Copies of this chain bind each other. A is one copy, B any other.
Amino acid sequence: MGVAGLSIDKAQGGETTVAVASVEPLLKLSADAMAAVNELILSKAGSDVELIPEISNYLVNAGGKRLRPMLTIASAEMFGYRGDAHIRLATAVEFMHTATLLHDDVVDESDMRRARATARRIWGNQASVLVGDFLLGQAFRLMVDVGSLDALDVLSTAASVIAEGEVWQLSASRSMETTKADYEAVIRAKTAALFSAAAEMGPIITGASERERQALRTYGDTLGMAFQLVDDALDYGGSAASLGKNVGDDFREGKVTLPVIFAYRDGDDQDRAFWKAAIEEGRNDDAALASAIERLERTGAVEKTVSEARLYGETARTALAELPEGPWRDALDQVVGFCISRVV
């Protein structure tokens, strides 16, 4: 493997081109399986209660790369799996993720996600809470259907851990006492836990070795950490169009993320006073956001956050060494670079 974030593609005719690491190889390899996942999503999100398929279809069409269910597909097919349990587990993973998004948007009072109005904006908080509950129930039914208690154990634990992380973030969101370690514990729970569980499904249903299972757990966990940190960086750096959310959303919601923790830690007294006022007292209007971005740049806080993401990415790539060589492993390697290259 080459430099992080880069991969060498041999084009036809033998000439060598350098391409930015891409999610394309994984998308191609998993295309058939993901078509089956899509079909199952639509079928299991069906209901005579019209509002349920209405909201579900809206979310399905919202796009997104479906990274989490693809991890489940990859982690099974890289061991030569030929059944269909991975389709059901990947669907369960996507439902868990969608339920979390529905509830998160209610909790954060978000109006936009991926450049579209959120479900709660269109159908209200009530429907978002309840349809999220429905999808969570359907996720568990799919797991039960597969019949692996081991898979159920991993995913139900992830469900608790995710919610616990969200509650923690809710209680701590407005305190500048939050440390880097605190924050990493939160995102490990609220984001990395599902990536990790998704990647663990393959070795569970294929009966891969404990070493391989551990490797995929680590890959998912560290990829999830890198993914979230890049997201945090993008909230202060990317454009709303590329990210599909508004720059400064985290800031306006009073969320302490790693860029803010670095800017506070490495800033001067004036910086610290600014962050306390912004986060703890809610002084977060547009002028404050502009000042926040200036302070983040001056302290190098966004770059430091991306560096942290790169470190997690390196761990993810290293974990892959334990897994069977082949196109699936190569595709998972490229995904790491892709996640990080979103920001650079």
Contacts and interface: CB of A to CB of B under 8 A. Distances in A.
Interface in A48-77: 49-52
A140 B167 contact: no
B144 A160 contact: no
Interface string A186-202: 00000000000000000
Interface stretch (A131-139, A209-217, A234-242, A258-266): A131-139
A111 to B, nearest CB: 16
A47 B161 CA distance: 10
Contact of A171 (B49, B134, B137, B166): B49
Interface residues of A, number: 40
Given A106-B129, A127-B167, 9 more contacts: A51-B167, A103-B129, A103-B130, A103-B133, A107-B129, A133-B162, A136-B159, A137-B162, A143-B156
14 contacts: A47-B164, A49-B164, A51-B170, A103-B130, A106-B126, A107-B126, A126-B170, A131-B163, A134-B160, A134-B163, A134-B164, A137-B157, A140-B152, A140-B156
Interface of A: 47, 49-52, 103, 106-107, 125-127, 129-131, 133-134, 136-138, 140-141, 143-144, 147, 149, 152-153, 156-157, 159-164, 166-168, 170-171
